[in-house]
Amino acid sequence: MAKNKISEYSATAANNTDIGGINIAEGCAPSGINNAIRELMAQLKDQQAGTDGDNFTVGGNLSVAGAMTCTGAAVFSSTVALGGSATATTQSSGDSTTKVATTAFVQATLAAAYPVGSIYINASSSTNPATLLGFGTWVAFGAGRVMVGLDAGNAAFDTAEETGGSADAITVSHTHTASSSPHQHSSIGYNGNGSTPYGTLSGQSSMGTWEPGGNNTTHVLTSSTTTSVTVDSAGSSGTNANLQPYIVVRMWKRTV
């Protein structure tokens, strides 16, 4: 069989009796040697250019001083030292094989993990995620608010980005009622002179009247009194007292 590419050569020298169909066995024509050298040079060029579609295996370390471009599969089982930048075919996002991951692959994967509408949270850095991640347009989000999961069964939480609540405590409207019905107080007195059928309690005439009576007869002073009731305020200010336990972070929303 004609040996048309390097992978078809034999590791046993005696088995290499032709190259590209040119006879190079013992006793071949001298012109065959010249033609064989030319064929070998052509095949090496095809290998270097990658036009022969042949596989190439490096058994030791591979050092690349310039840029390396991989348009097909590259499998490394040993050390690869790249002195320049290596470029490879960018795989689809989510590929979990052992293929080389390009910077474009990494960015595409991150972008897929943070689609438009995603929230990015950082507890310390104020740098915009567009700078940190290298993609998207991000705007500050949720200033002074905590997040809550959407609940389709609750009108307060059934729409994305719906807002509500207050940082200050709210006292629910209610009424305090106090009342006192008119009532009577009774006092017992005596007409001591036995001659005055009616009289007044000394110094207390404004409190009521004496009922008729005679000597040593019991008299009753009646009077109506209305009592007022005051309900005092109690407690302390509710400003910023309605907040759940919280921790402050920086949040951004991806818009593009």
Residue 39 reports pLDDT greater than 60: yes
The confidence band for 207, taking pLDDT boundaries of 50, 70 and 90, is very low
| Those residues with Cβ within 8 angstroms of residue 199's Cβ, 6 or more apart along the chain or in another chain | 191, 210, 219
Task: Name the residue among 122, 127, 89, 123 with its Cα closest to residue 108.
Answer: 89
What is the tally of helices (H) and strands (E) in the chain? 3, 13
Range 56-69 average pLDDT: 84
Q: What is the reported pLDDT for 180?
A: 66
Which tokens sit at 94? 């989510």
Residue 220 reports pLDDT greater than 80: no
CA angle 177, 180, 183 (to 5 degrees): 170
Task: Name the residue among 138, 116, 140, 142 with its Cα closest to residue 129.
Answer: 138
Which tokens sit at 191? 């007409």
Residue 145 reports pLDDT greater than 70: yes
Query: What is the phi-psi region of residue 142: left when phi exceeds 0, alpha when psi lies from -120 to 50, beta otherwise?
Result: left
221 within 8 A of 189, measured Cβ to Cβ: yes
Q: How many CB atoms lie within 10 A of CB 136?
A: 20
Q: What is the reported pLDDT for 10?
A: 93
- Three-state secondary structure call for residue 103: helix
Question: 88 - beta bridge partners?
Answer: 70
Domain ranges of the chain: 1-57
Mean pLDDT of all residues belonging to the chain? 80
Of 77-81, 119-123, 130-134, give the lowest mean pLDDT range.
Answer: 77-81
Range 51-80 average pLDDT: 83
Model confidence pLDDT, tens digit, residues 150-189: 999 999 999 999 999 888 877 777 777 777 666 555 554 4
